[in-house]
């Protein structure tokens, strides 16, 4: 008798990805300036630790809130008993106002259309459960956040079909890439239920242009599908161009009478306070949808991942303080900009460049193609291991984000101190200087043959196109 269920043991979770393996290696040997100065520096974790002092000073000025008091009186019992899965109305109002503030108040959100979830992880999975059957598919532009394999596919049995984006246009989505992904799904006999994008993008650290967003809306309108826009980094945009939410595009089209109520009911936003407020441990996420049926179904499902009532109480007071949120958003952006500048300069000094369009997120999409021994994913893995074990930096290889071109890495900059970032850059510079005489030269890359290109694509496609149905099948055979 099998001890565990097929679901519990199937490997579509993605835990064996280098993205998670890097974290494990870091945990075994974490850098500490005093205790372990030769340890691994964690640059594979998209955390924002730059503005904790702002949150802490607000807490210090508002001791009643953290002490679960209202007007000096304890509300501990009220909070301990509160269990309505619709969430605290005051928190939902404060959250939608914060979302509007991030978008320059160009649009407003109705608190009746929001569903609270335990982080964006839960929000994305809930939407999959609401919108697709097991074996149906969503199209996702590559490279994408490695956690999506777990969040979208693992428990739901939904499939991901990649929309192949390339460096030739800074990884922007094109109409032909969308059509191609749709064709690819058809060939695999998969019914496509929608497109899911992250805007700003993880791992690219870029915002989507209006034309990309319009393209997506036209596509889902034409194909009668859903569009999920994961806007978890919407307040983490530190330089121009500004962030444009898909909701703004819908409003613009509505104003121009180029509007279809059906379409806006098929567009859903995912949000969370894990990045913009730097609170991933609080597990606060949300789905915003104008579709009443989706809101009702997702609310029922949210029972499996609610936000605790003391967290809702604390954050309704914090986000309800408009002076605080306005200052936080702008100060946090300034700090992120400075930090990203430090990383870009440090990389430049090591002869490494990154995506020029990087204006958002907690990371840069870094081009290390000139450090590869050949233009293959094997060479990317080899380089990643050297950087992890010799240079002692954990960065995330493009393959873990399903990138189609070897040699790109996601490097985070906001989860450490400035000194640690400088040390990381020094380590990398020394590595590149010492490594130059070795096999990794751009000359060698230019020599890379067409054959190695097609080999790398083939080996990648095993990884990229692995379907959870196939995993299930393999599991059954075991």
The catalytic residue among 232, 352, 387, 395 is 232
Q: Taking contact as CB under 6 A, which single stretch among the options 239-247, 272-280, 396-404, 412-420 is the one that binds ligand PLP? A: 272-280
Q: Taking contact as CB under 6 A, which single stretch among the options 114-122, 346-354, 373-381, 384-392 is the one that binds ligand PLP? A: 114-122
Binding mask 138-177 for ligand PLP (x = CB under 6 A): -------x-x------------------------------
| Nearer of residues 263 and 279 to ligand PLP, judged by Cβ | 279
Give the interface size with ligand PLP as a residue count (CB under 6 A).
Answer: 14
Is 46 a binding residue for ligand PLP by CB under 6 A? The answer is: yes
Q: Taking contact as CB under 6 A, which single stretch among the options 71-79, 117-125, 152-160, 330-338 is the one that binds ligand PLP? A: 117-125
| Nearer of residues 280 and 398 to ligand PLP, judged by Cβ | 280
Query: Minimum Å distance from CB 18 to ligand PLP?
Result: 16
Query: Minimum Å distance from CB 59 to ligand PLP?
Result: 21
Is 121 a binding residue for ligand PLP by CB under 6 A? The answer is: yes
Max intra-chain CA distance, the chain = 73
Annotation marks residue 145 as catalytic: yes
Is 198 a binding residue for ligand PLP by CB under 6 A? The answer is: yes
Strand ranges across the sheet with 408-412: 353-354, 363-367, 408-412, 396-397
Is 207 a binding residue for ligand PLP by CB under 6 A? The answer is: no
Query: Minimum Å distance from CB 20 to ligand PLP?
Result: 12
Query: Minimum Å distance from CB 423 to ligand PLP?
Result: 24
Annotation marks residue 275 as catalytic: yes
Is 278 a binding residue for ligand PLP by CB under 6 A? The answer is: no
The catalytic residue among 92, 193, 275, 392 is 275
Candidates 44, 87, 119, 194; binder of ligand PLP (CB under 6 A) is: 119
Query: Minimum Å distance from CB 49 to ligand PLP?
Result: 14
Annotation marks residue 84 as catalytic: no
Contacts with ligand PLP in 217-236 (CB under 6 A)?
230, 232
User: Which residues here bind ligand PLP, judged by CB under 6 A?
Assistant: 46, 119-121, 145, 147, 198, 202, 230, 232, 272, 274, 280, 285
As annotated, the active-site residues are 145, 230, 232, 275
């Amino acid at each position: 008798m099998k001890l565990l269920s097929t679901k519990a043991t199937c490997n579509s979770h993605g835990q064996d990805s280098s993205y998670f393996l890097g974290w494990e290696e870091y945990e075994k040997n974490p850098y500490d300036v005093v205790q372990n100065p030769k340890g691994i520096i964690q640059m594979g974790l998209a955390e924002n630790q730059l503005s904790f002092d702002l949150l802490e000073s607000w807490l210090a000025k508002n001791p009643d809130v953290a002490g679960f008091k209202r007007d000096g009186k304890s509300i501990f019992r009220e909070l301990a008993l509160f269990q309505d899965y619709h969430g605290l109305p005051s928190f939902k109002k404060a959250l939608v106002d914060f979302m509007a503030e991030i978008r320059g108040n160009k649009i407003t959100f109705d608190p009746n259309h929001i569903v609270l979830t335990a982080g964006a992880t839960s929000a994305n999975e809930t939407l999959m459960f609401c919108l697709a059957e097991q074996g149906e598919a969503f199209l996702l532009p590559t490279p994408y956040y490695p956690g999506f394999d777990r969040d979208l596919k693992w428990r739901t049995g939904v499939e991901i079909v990649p929309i192949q984006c390339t460096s030739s246009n800074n990884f922007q989505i094109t109409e032909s890439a969308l059509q191609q992904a749709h064709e690819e799904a058809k060939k695999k006999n998969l019914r496509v239920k929608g497109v899911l994008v992250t805007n700003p993008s993880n791992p690219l650290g870029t915002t989507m242009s209006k034309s990309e967003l319009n393209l997506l809306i036209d596509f889902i309108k034409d194909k009668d599908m859903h569009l999920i826009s994961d806007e978890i980094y919407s307040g983490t945009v530190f330089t121009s161009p500004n962030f444009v939410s898909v909701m703004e595009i819908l409003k613009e089209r509505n104003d121009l009478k180029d509007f279809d109520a059906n379409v806006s009911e098929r567009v859903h936003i995912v949000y969370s306070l894990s990045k913009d407020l730097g609170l991933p441990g609080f597990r606060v996420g949300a789905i915003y949808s104008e579709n009443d049926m989706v809101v009702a179904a997702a609310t029922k499902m949210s029972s499996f991942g609610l936000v605790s009532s003391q967290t809702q109480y604390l954050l309704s007071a914090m986000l309800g303080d408009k002076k605080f949120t306005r200052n936080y958003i702008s100060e946090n952006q300034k700090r992120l900009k400075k930090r990203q500048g430090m990383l870009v300069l440090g990389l430049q000094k090591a002869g490494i460049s990154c995506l020029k369009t990087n204006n958002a997120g907690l990371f840069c999409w870094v081009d290390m193609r000139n450090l590869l021994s050949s233009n293959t994913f094997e060479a990317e893995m080899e380089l990643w291991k050297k950087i992890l074990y010799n240079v002692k930096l954990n960065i995330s290889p493009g393959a873990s984000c399903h990138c189609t071109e070897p040699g790109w890495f996601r490097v985070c900059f906001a989860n450490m101190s400035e000194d640690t970032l400088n040390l990381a850059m020094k380590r990398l510079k020394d590595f590149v200087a010492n490594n130059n005489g070795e096999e990794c030269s751009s000359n060698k890359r230019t020599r890379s043959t067409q054959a190695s290109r097609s080999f790398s694509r083939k080996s990648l496609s095993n990884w990229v196109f692995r379907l959870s149905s196939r995993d299930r099948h393999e599991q059954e055979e075991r």
